[in-house]
Amino acid sequence: MTTPDQAAWILLFQTFLLSLPAVFLVKRVGDRLGWVDVPGDRKVHLKPVVTAGGVGIYLGLLLSFCLFHLWFGEVLTTRTPSINLVTYKEQSRLWLLFGTSPILLAVGFWDDLRDCNSIVKLGFQILAALVFVCFRVTPGGTWQYETMTLFVILVNTGWIVLLLNAVNLVDGLDGLAAGIVAIASFWLLLANFPMNNQFLTWVGAMLVGSCLAFLVFNFHPASIFMGDTGSLLLGFWVGAGSIEGDFRKISGLVLAAPIVLLGIPILEVVSSALRRLVGGGRVFQADSKHMHHRLLRLGFRHRSIVFFYYGITFLLGMLGFLLAPDRFVGDTPVLRITNPGMAYWLFFIILGSVVLGYTALVAIEKRFEDVIRDLSRKHGAGVNIEGTLRGLVDNGEDGAGKTDARKTGRKKRR
């Protein structure tokens, strides 16, 4: 008989294989119908690229779970706990997740093609999160609203909305959001294996497979963007999976696991909100001052920035995995890091390093802009000092290559 761990890997690879043609189909349709994201002030791409790739991600997820249901249908639909791959309640939550996701697909698609008001978009996010949090199914198979305290509803809804916007904010470079979600979901998948609630296991497996498939088309230079359609969908799934896992039921230390795993997106959304509040702007107003934008302005390469984010997410994911339980003795979790003090120190060291790095980055960028202003004043108006410096940074390697080629040409002519 197939174990839940084995079934999770089958689901991961199956989702990858089915998401490839789904994303390719959306790319072809989008190219023909004009679903493109044109370059702008806040954009880093220089030519129109097909957007709304989240539709392809969702199609791949849906096709994969339907096929998975056909493969293991007899085991999935039984209500006998001893032989279940997924309990009836968990399976119902998965179908509810698929049924709620179109709310975000619709508002994301609207925003990708026509631009949606930020307040309206936030309202749809809260609606989708509330429906998922409040609508429950009893073990007997009847649907009803589960009695929960207002505090629990607000915390769970707020957590999902936070991750929705966190993934949306990091979706600024080719392959960035999909790669971060794939790495975080992989570690969440591993961390959740010893736990009884397999909902997060299936969600994590499908997310890893779909994100890896999307990266085939989205890695720099991207031929399709996920857009808000995809970033809202991925953030919703990660948030929904993490609140349904057993992390929240065990202890404060274990609860830190999903927070650490998603540290980069959460830091991005918190820093963006604080920056806009301090600067007197609107919290939901888009800008080009995210960490990846700052790194680009300082001359870092596109792929180098993406791999830097991947590395930080991988390290945080490993820490989150170590904070999760290794096994259970009855209902008592046995943590991989048995000394809670060591776990907390690791958590604060890594988090502090990320925060210090971000602070240093802001200071360096500010100094860079001050130097540009000083040079502009000294050399007079009408001279594009900033453009010249950034052109030298961006084309430094290419320029060196061209210079070498010219030298080689001269030698040959001689």
Residues 6+ apart with CB under 8 A from 16: 208, 209, 210, 212, 213
pLDDT band (50, 70, 90) for residue 298: low
Of all residues in the chain, the percent with pLDDT exceeding 90 is 22
pLDDT at 179: 92
The residue range of the domain holding 141 is: 4-250
pLDDT at position 32 over 70: yes
Mean pLDDT of 172-182: 88
Of all residues in the chain, the percent with pLDDT exceeding 70 is 62
pLDDT at 77: 47
Residue 291 placed within a domain: no
Residue 369 placed within a domain: no
Residue 149 placed within a domain: yes
pLDDT band (50, 70, 90) for residue 173: confident
- Which pair of tokens denotes residue 231? 């970033």
**Residue pLDDT, tens place only, 140-171:** 555 555 667 788 888 889 888 988 888 888 88
pLDDT at 168: 85
Residue 388 placed within a domain: no
Residue 88 placed within a domain: yes
Residue 320 placed within a domain: no
For strands 36-37 and 49-50, give the pairing: antiparallel
Residue 244 placed within a domain: yes
Distances (CA, A) of 360 to 203, 205, 271, 350: 36, 36, 14, 15
**Residue pLDDT, tens place only, 225-244:** 998 999 999 999 988 887 87
Name beta bridge partners: 335.
325
Domain count, the chain: 1
Residue 386 placed within a domain: no
**Residue pLDDT, tens place only, 43-89:** 555 678 888 899 999 999 999 988 887 776 554 544 444 445 666 67
- C-alpha torsion sign, points 284, 309, 209, 8: negative
**In 279-395, which residue ranges form alpha helices assigned H by DSSP?**
291-297, 302-323, 340-379, 385-394
Give the residue with greater pLDDT, 218 vs 384.
218
pLDDT band (50, 70, 90) for residue 414: very low
Mean pLDDT of the chain: 75
pLDDT at position 283 over 60: no
Give the residue with greater pLDDT, 218 vs 401.
218
Mean pLDDT of 319-324: 75
- Please give the model's pTM, rounded to 2 decimal places: 0.77
pLDDT at 236: 93
Query: Comparing 76-90, 120-134, 245-259, which segment has the lowest mean pLDDT?
Result: 245-259
Confirm if 149 and 222 have CB atoms less than 8 A apart: no
pLDDT at 398: 45
Distance of CA 184 to the CA centre of its chain: 8
pLDDT at position 355 over 80: no
pLDDT at position 253 over 80: no
Mean pLDDT of 19-47: 82
pLDDT at 34: 87
pLDDT band (50, 70, 90) for residue 22: very high
